[in-house]
Amino acid sequence: MRNVSIIGIGQTPVAEHWDSGLRDLAAHAARAALDDAGLTNVDSLIVANAFGAAISSQSHLAPLIADFAGLRGVEAYGVEVADGSGGAALRAGYLAVASGAVDTVMVLGVEKSTDMIGSAKVLARNVSLDADDEAMHGATLPALAALIMRRYMFEYEVDLASFEGFSINAHTNGSKYAHAMYRNILKPGAFVKAPMIADPVNLFDSAPDGDGAAAVILTATPTANAIRIAGSGAATDTLTLAERADLLWLQAIETSTNKALAEAGMTRDQINLFELHDSFTIMAALALEAAGFALRGMGWKLAQNGAIKPDGALPISTFGGLKSRGNPVGATGVYQAVEAVMQLRGTAGANQIANARTAMIQSVSGLGSSAFTHILSI
């Protein structure tokens, strides 16, 4: 396998982009990434998207975006693994370059989810659940997350306030970042009083859906400020929550993390920052545990004792994460890659983590049904 590096990044702010469609957002990110890499073309385009068909009545995105991004004629295809699509596309691009089949790949994530509201939006979003055994019976992603969170609170005897540190950290970091969707600072105590979505998951617990596009360009022939993909690992767990033997262990995250670390030849103490999938605070707590950064039942402690803050032992959500920067569902994994590159280049501005040399990014679908973990390094 050849070494693979990221040599270009591009993105739009995550927002309610009511005046831009899928193709506009994607073209903006693609051109920014090409400019950043100093390229005018690539060998291959891989498009990550979750809800184009369900929300924008648009599948078949790869040739559409290739055309509008000025890459007409290029090899292009799509990858869909719900909100893990971005990480999956990054791994596909990584494998394509590492194999020697192509030299440069653009991995582009794009999502447009805010043009639909109310029950239509719930139904569209529910296509990523188990249609027969979950969605059919009225389950939604927040409702299923609430089941896990309630179990966690019961098993480990922690209260709702114990999770507030995740959202406070995310918003504190996002408040310093112009591209973030919600830049308000959460005061201690506000979290437990937020309007309820699916008890105990409330408005300040759950990441907001946003529109956006992000792109990275991978190559086997790095430039001066290239960031190397040192390791890549992926795994699945059950799609159906009820099929899991252990509701409080995200097996796909454990497996993919171990694979990525093994490929990079690294240990956890070398990771300077971790961009995880904080779609709900319970997902952040469980990711820290399954990825081996906290003992079982103790993930919430890292939020409480400040370890996840920018100056802590393991900073997470350094630009706001899904909670504050926003969750552009299928594009989220590519946003994580863009943000990790900014940290490792030292261009993260007010969000810069001091002496960042190695970053772990983890793109997760649903409530851990699949996980794509990458380790980026200077």
Partner 1 sequence: MFSANGTGKPINFLMQPDRAVGIIGYGAYVPRYRLPGSEIAKLWTGTSAGSPVKEKAVAGPDEDVTTMSIEAARNALARAAIDPQQLRAVWIGSESHPYAVKPTSTIVAESIGTSPSIQAADWEFACKAGTEAVQASIGMIGSGMGLYALSIGMDTAQSRPGDALEYTAASGGAGFILGRAEEAVAIYQGSYSFVTDTPDFWRRSDEAFPSHGERFTGDPAYFHHITSAGRTLMEMMGTTAADYTYVVLHQPNVKFPQRAAGMLGFKEEQYATGLLANEIGNVYSGSCMIGLTAILDEAKAGDRILMLSYGSGAGSDAFDLRVTEKIDAVRGRATTTREYIARRTPIDYATYCRYRGLLKA
Residues that bind partner 1 (CB under 8 A): 16, 18-19, 117-118
Nearer to partner 1, 185 or 196 (CB): 196
Q: In this structure, what are the phi and psi dihedrals at residue 135, rounded to the nearest 5 degrees?
A: -60, -40
Give the nearer residue to partner 1 in terms of CB position, either 1 or 120: 120
Show the DSSP H helices in 20-159 as ranges.
22-37, 52-56, 61-68, 85-99, 118-125, 141-156
Shortest distance in whole angstroms from residue 12 CB to partner 1 = 18
Structural contact between residues 203 and 324, judged by C-beta atoms closer than 8 angstroms: no
Shortest Å, Cβ 114 to partner 1: 9
Shortest distance (Å) from residue 118 CB to partner 1: 8
**DSSP per-residue codes, 29-48:** HHHHHHHHHT-S--SEEEEE
How far the first Cα of the chain sits from its last, in Å, is 19
CA distance 60 to 312: 43
CB-nearer residue toward partner 1: 19 or 157: 19
- For the bound state, the minimum distance from the C-beta of residue 192 to partner 1, rounded and expressed in Å, comes to 16
Task: Select 117 or 245, whichever has its Cβ closest to partner 1.
Answer: 117
Q: What is the CA radius of gyration of the chain?
A: 19
Rounded CA separation 231/71 (Å): 28
How many residues are recorded in the chain? 378
CB nearer to partner 1: give 180 or 316: 180
Q: Alpha carbon of 154 to those of 89, 111, 144, 164: distances in Å?
A: 37, 36, 16, 17
Nearest to partner 1 of 19, 269 (CB atom): 19
Burial class from Cβ neighbours inside 10 Å (0-12, 13-18, 19+) for residue 192 reads middle
CB of 315 to partner 1, least distance (A): 31
Minimum gap (Å) between residue 117 Cβ and partner 1: 5
The least CB distance from residue 28 to partner 1, in Å, is 19
Using alpha carbons, select from 84, 51, 80 the residue that is nearest to residue 233. 84
Q: Which is nearer to partner 1, 73 or 195 (CB)?
A: 195
**In the complex, least distance from residue 208 CB atom to partner 1, rounded to whole angstroms:** 11
Report the 10 Å Cβ neighbour count for 78: 21
Write out the H or E segment, with its range, that includes residue 10.
strand 5-11
Q: Tell me how far apart the alpha carbons of residues 162 and 212 are, in angstroms, rounded to a whole number.
A: 31
Nearer to partner 1, 119 or 355 (CB): 119
Residue with Cβ nearer partner 1 (117 or 178) = 117
Tell me the three state secondary structure of residue 347. coil
Q: Least distance from C-beta 150 to partner 1, angstroms? A: 21
What single-letter amino acid sits at 186? Answer: L
